[in-house]
Amino acid sequence: MPVRVGFVGAGGIANAHMNVLQLIEDVQITCVCDVDKDRAQSAAARFVAKAYADYREMLHSEKIDALYVCVPPYAHEEQELLAARKGIHLFVEKPVALTLEKARQISEAISQSGIVAAVGYHWRYQSNTDRAREILSDRQIGMVLGYWMGGFPGVSWWRRMEQSGGQMVEQTTHIFDLARYLCGEIVEVYAAYANRDSKHIPDFNVYDVGAATIKFANGAIGSMSNTCLLSVPYTVGLHVIARDLIVEIHGDLKVIQPGYTQIFTGGVNAMQEENRAFIKAVKTGDRSDIRSTYEDAVKTLAVTLACNESAAAGKPIKVPEL
């Protein structure tokens, strides 16, 4: 029997997941919800699915096994809570919420229901991430440098702090999460933000440059830098530094050691792998391939929200223990 899947959200990231799910056996997309009914109908038509404009109506009317929640950060309302109470498994796109209070509420509901819950931190599923993790497993990491340097997405909600949470929370979250996955827990941040060249953009109140000094529980230190003011593509990735070793991850992997440098390119489709892991867990109950659970994703959210708090307060902030 196929896994019956519903979607809340029918934008770009939702369609990317739909495209991948088409490649996985025994998956049937049966319903799609979006506040833009035309967009919901367009996505639903691809799968002979039913379109909705109200997720509450969809969850009440449809019998589904799994729900994908692919909405902007501010739009997380009761989708996850209602699904958890109905025993519907969840795949949630990052970031999982705009506040720790909301994320903790959802995490508790997931825990009480016993459902499978995965989050879309697809960098964890790259084959080059596996290789980097193996290389770093027995090393004492000294420094971690992360980057998300580019332009800003065209969607209007991304430009508003109260809707996206800003670049650290909505975009650079991938690199914070990768740093946690490879290098350990982050316990303190000290961030500074500014708006240097985007004040002319209508309805823009996020910051177009930001940097954070970060401390890890294991004693390593590092920094995360991001900007959305560039008009040309630049760089997104993570550099990890140890004695006699530099590991650079930018999709591809560069490993620099005394006397030689290795570059690893290509690899698996990370989004396809995260979806396969989730569907496998839904079908079999085996969650071992899921690399980002909801509970773990809340820890990444806590780090990025601490950066926002630090930038606003002008002082270091301890990351809440979860």
pLDDT of the chain, 322 residues: tens digit per residue: 899 999 999 999 999 999 999 999 999 999 999 999 999 999 999 999 999 999 999 999 999 999 999 999 999 999 999 999 999 999 999 999 999 999 999 999 999 999 999 999 999 999 999 999 999 999 999 999 999 999 989 899 999 999 999 999 999 999 999 999 999 999 999 999 999 999 899 999 999 999 999 999 999 999 999 999 999 989 999 999 999 999 999 999 999 999 999 999 999 999 999 999 999 999 999 999 999 999 999 999 999 999 999 999 999 999 999 8
135 shares a domain with 86 = no
The predicted model scores a pTM of 0.97
| Ordered strands of the 66-69 beta sheet | 50-52, 27-33, 3-8, 66-69, 89-92, 117-119
Please indicate, yes or no, whether residues 91 and 206 belong to a single structural domain of this protein: no
- Domain region containing 288: 3-122+271-292
Same domain, 138 and 245: yes
Same structural domain for residues 111 and 245? no
Same domain, 195 and 46: no
Residues 34 and 162 placed together within one structural domain of the fold: no
Domain shared by 170 and 159, yes or no:
yes
Q: What is the CATH number of the domain that holds 106?
A: 3.40.50.720
How many domains does the chain fold into? 2
Question: Is the same domain home to 314 and 216?
Answer: yes
Pairing type for strands 260-264 and 252-257 reads antiparallel
Rounded Cα distance, 144 and 165, in Å? 23
Whether the CB-CB separation of 164 and 73 falls below 8 Å is answered with yes
- Per residue in 230-239, is it b (16+ CB within 10 Å) or e — as a string? eeeeeebbbb
